[in-house]
Structure 1
Amino acid sequence: MSHRPARERRQLTPAVDGLPDSEGNLEWSGITREDLEELSGLMTAIEVLDEPLERHSLEALYEAFDEAGADPAHDGLLGRDGGGPLVAYGWNHPGRTDTDPRRVYLDGGVHPGWRRQGIGTALLRWQLEQARSWYRRSWQPGHGPLRVMGHVDEKQTGRRALFESFGLEPLRWYADMSFLFDGDPPTAPVPTGVTIVPFSDELSEGVRRAHNEAFADHWGSQPVDRTRWQEQLVRADARPEWSWVALDGETGEVTGYAMNAAYRQDWDAQGYSEGWTDRLGVRRAWRGRGIARALLCASMRSFADAGLEAAGLGVDSDNPTGAFQLYESLGYRAGETIVMHALTENYQPAG
């Protein structure tokens, strides 16, 4: 890591002024675009020690920085030792179009060489205050409570204990499931009255609306607007060319979908290449007909044809549609678990 000259210290809120120094010389600043490559290096150092299920990519950092409405200079914080090497970061990702609840996703970490100095604790305190400040500033009539959320591997007991010390309680458990190809992937018949077609730009808006309808009965889900949907379609990990849509054979309306991706940054650590199903949904009126099964089999065929070694997806252990049983019946097997910790606060601005 190259030593960089100390930069002018930001105007900090009182909460930020309470952040600890490393030997009296840790300096803090917001996140700029020019910081992202160095931030990626810090995140890699953290991942080498912690071995998380999900790894970062530099492309994803740029995409998060460039998201509509994102303000990393205000919602993020970088800590440098003596104004030089980057040793800690915190980055809040507010759900700016959320209504009920208003969600903020937490990301952050401390370099292994600078741990056990209270830096992570102080960073999390700052992130929670920033989340509350954002909520107060953006509040409008009709908004629900603030929900601050952090996802962490179940095995990372230290970070989970830190979350719980600030009132972020474990609420949901998400199992990663994988199907390792040994020969041809499974097949499933296409249900009568349904056609399965490749995803296309012409179908995109119909798929977005179908997704919002299909997940309306899932815990914590909120509608995805057109801007956010398009951002996710063009991100580096997205693979619309491996994605599939179920259509009603008579009307042509979207009844279900499987939107897929390739998280290449995870492949080396897990030991195999894998296509990942990010979003799988069937509208309520068409459930129980085998559409999800057919979509998954079409997706697995796309992964195998692309030369990948496995198919993967994540499932909420409390999914109301019986998804876990479906995945197991196709041969997916559960691996490690990610836990969502959350703190929900009700707040009504005065006046």
Structure 2
Amino acid sequence: MTDPLPEIKTDLVSRFEDDPDELVERTELPVGWHVDSPDAGDRFQVARLTHLLRAHERHGRGWAGAGVDDVLLEVSEQGLLTRENVVVRDAAGTIQAWGSVHDRAGGRMLFVHVVSRELHGAEADACSDALFEWARGQARAIGAARGLPTQQIDTGAFEDDERQARWLTGAGFRHVRTWWQMSRPGEEGDADLVPDPTDWERKGIRFRLVDREGSDLPAEEDLRAVHDVLEQAFKDHFNSFEETFTEFLRRTREEPGHRWSHWWIAEIVDGEGDPEPVGALVGEASESSTGPGSSYVSYIGVLEAARGRGVATGLLRTIIADAARRGRGSVGLEVDADSSTGAQRLYSGLGWRTKYVTQSWHFDVPVG
């Protein structure tokens, strides 16, 4: 069960076209095949989408990690304010392809593109074309609603998925970035890396949870501090788009692994004034029915003025120690393979190793 969301006024609105037939007009599907919107209330449809997604992962990296919660994040009523979905059904009504778009931030739209691994040849290509045509139409709708001249479509692929790369290249997408998906197994002594993962201090830097003792919900001031630190820390990074506080809060809260007890703030406390937030880490939790669960570093950022003071190392040691005390088996994270910040050296030095590799592919859609 995920934690509750604070009562914070939202500025989110849906900018999508909800009729897939309006966007898929040029793609010629096989006779009897058609596009449709999935029904999150139909457990058989959800099960089919989960099957397609897991098969996609298994082919791309060797194993499947997605579950029903990951699918519901995309198709349920909770997520549909910032997401929209389409499916391609064959003549028998079976879902053979699934596309999902996410209005992530001004100018950036995420796109999930999944085609059944049981399809081949012209049928598979037609499904892929339909998903791309629909996504371009949604990008135009979002960009127009935001008043933008161009809307970016940002999608991902596993490094070894040759079929996906062929489709992306054929649709005009550019491979723009490579990401190392890293994992650090638990080691003896991890629980004692920091005195107390909930609150500790070193060399004038205090590391503490945002959910303070005695409160069910973190203070809005703390959540805004995390958002502000991450926005400033990543403003000059690859493909960074400004994300409002409510966009950020809703999106991170929706993740299946969300826990307020995995959000940390690093503050400078060696001056005479109030504590100054200079670092933040947003983590997630993943439970397993077959073994120990894991923790995941969704975001870690440090303000430029505070770099070199051990803030990032302190935050990473904190989530490692927290995971060990919870009996977790590993801590995962993602790192930009082309980053010039030296983050790879920091992670490798703390025991992280690359588990598999993913890619980012972009397509810029003229809105007008």
Q: TM-score range by the shorter chain?
A: 0.7 to 0.9
Alpha-carbon offset, residue 55 of structure 1: 3.5
**Is 1:174 paired with 2:179?**
yes
Where 2:324 maps in the other structure, the secondary structure is helix
- Cα distance per residue 1:50-97 (max 9 Å; x no partner): 44677433223333342363352xxx22122224222211222233x4
- Matched residue, 2:68: 58
**Residues 15 and 129, structure 1, Cα contact 8 Å, conserved in 2:** no
Q: Which runs of 4+ in 1 moved over 6 A?
A: none
- Asked whether the 8 Å contact 1:303–1:311 carries over to 2, the reply is yes
SS state at 1:262 partner: strand
The one-letter code matched in structure 2 to 1:187 is L
Equivalent residues in 2 for 1:276-315 (5 A)? 276-315=296-335
Distance 1:29 1:346, change over 3 A: closer
Among candidates 134, 140, 145, match of residue 138 of structure 1: 145
Contact 1:264/1:273 (<8 A) preserved = yes
- Give 1:210's match in structure 2, choosing from 224, 229, 243: 229
CA distance in 2, matches of 1:68, 1:192: 45
Is 1:147 the counterpart of 2:157 in the alignment? no
Letter in 1 for 2:256: A
Report the residue type matching 1:248 in the other structure: I
**1:184 match:** 189
C-alpha contact 2:83 2:103 (8 A) present in aligned 1: no
In the TM superposition, what whole-angstrom CA distance separates every residue of 1:175-227 from its partner, at most 9, and x where no partner exists?
01111123122837954221111222122111111111111121111233222
CA distance in 2, matches of 1:227, 1:79: 32
State the identity as a percent. Answer: 18
Residues of 2 paired with 1:216 and 1:11: CA distance? 34
Taking the aligned partners of 1:53 and 1:222, their CA distance within structure 2 comes to 31
Gaps of 5+ in 1: 1-9
Tell me the CA shift for residue 49 of structure 1: 4.0
- State the partner residue of 1:261: 284
Instruction: Report if the CA contact (8 A) 1:187-1:294 is conserved.
Output: no
Distance (whole Å) between structure 2 residues aligned to residue 14 and residue 67 of structure 1: 21
Structure 1 residue 37: deviation in Å? 4.2
2:339 aligned to 319, 325, 333, which one?
319
Note if 1:112 corresponds to 2:117: yes
Aligned to 1:6: none
Contact preservation (8 Å) 2:61, 2:158: no
The residue number in structure 2 matching 1:275 is 295
Cα distance in 2, alignment partners of residues 149 and 220 from structure 1: 9
The residue that corresponds to 1:225 in the other structure is 244
Matched, 1:121 2:100: no
Q: Which residue number corresponds to residue 43 of structure 1?
A: 53
**TM-score (normalised: structure 1):** 0.83
Secondary structure in structure 1 of the residue aligned to 2:236: coil
Mapped to 2, the partners of 1:204 and 1:14 lie a distance apart of 38
The RMSD of aligned alpha carbons is 2.7
Distance across 1 between alignment mates of 2:202 and 2:295? 24
- Per-residue deviation, residues 138-165 of structure 1 (Å, max 9, x unmatched): 242xx46321111111011210121111
Whole-angstrom CA distance in 1 between matches of 2:229 and 2:337: 23
- Per the alignment, residue 16 of structure 2 pairs with none
Range that drifts further, 117-126 or 334-343: 117-126
| Corresponding residue of 1:162 | 167
**SS of residue in 2 equivalent to 1:224:** coil
Alignment gaps of 5+ in structure 2: 1-18, 196-200, 212-217
2:25 is aligned with 1:16: yes
C-alpha separation between the residues in 2 aligned to 1:158 and 1:103? Answer: 24
Matches of 1:48 and 1:195 in 2, distance apart?
42
**Contact 2:229–2:277, Cα closer than 8 Å, also in 1:** yes
Give the Cα separation in 1 of the matches to 2:335 and 2:48. 33
One-letter amino acid of the counterpart of residue 196, structure 1:
F
The whole-number CA distance in structure 2 between the counterparts of 1:192 and 1:11 is: 57
Residue 241 to residue 53, structure 1, CA distance change in 2 (3 Å): farther
For the 8 Å contact 1:43–1:109, the answer to whether it is kept is yes
TM-score by length of 2: 0.79
Q: Report the more deviating stretch, 165-174 or 116-125.
A: 116-125
Residues 239, 173 of structure 1: alpha-carbon distance in 2 compared, 3 angstrom cutoff: same
Give the structure 2 partner of residue 87 of structure 1: 96
Cα displacement (A) at 1:281: 0.6
Task: Quickly say closer, same or farther: Cα 1:119–1:280, change in 2 above 3 A.
Answer: same
The CA distance in 2 between the partners of 1:68 and 1:30, in whole Å, is 12
Aligned to 1:26: 33
User: Is residue 2:186 matched to residue 1:193?
Assistant: no
Question: Aligned partner of 1:304: which letter?
Answer: A
| Contact 2:157–2:165 (Cα < 8 Å) also in 1 | yes
1 CA distance for matches of 2:352 and 2:56? 29
Q: How many residues align?
A: 325
* Distance in structure 2 (CA, Å) of the matches to 1:216 and 1:279: 13
The CA distance in 1 between the partners of 2:262 and 2:227, in whole Å, is 17
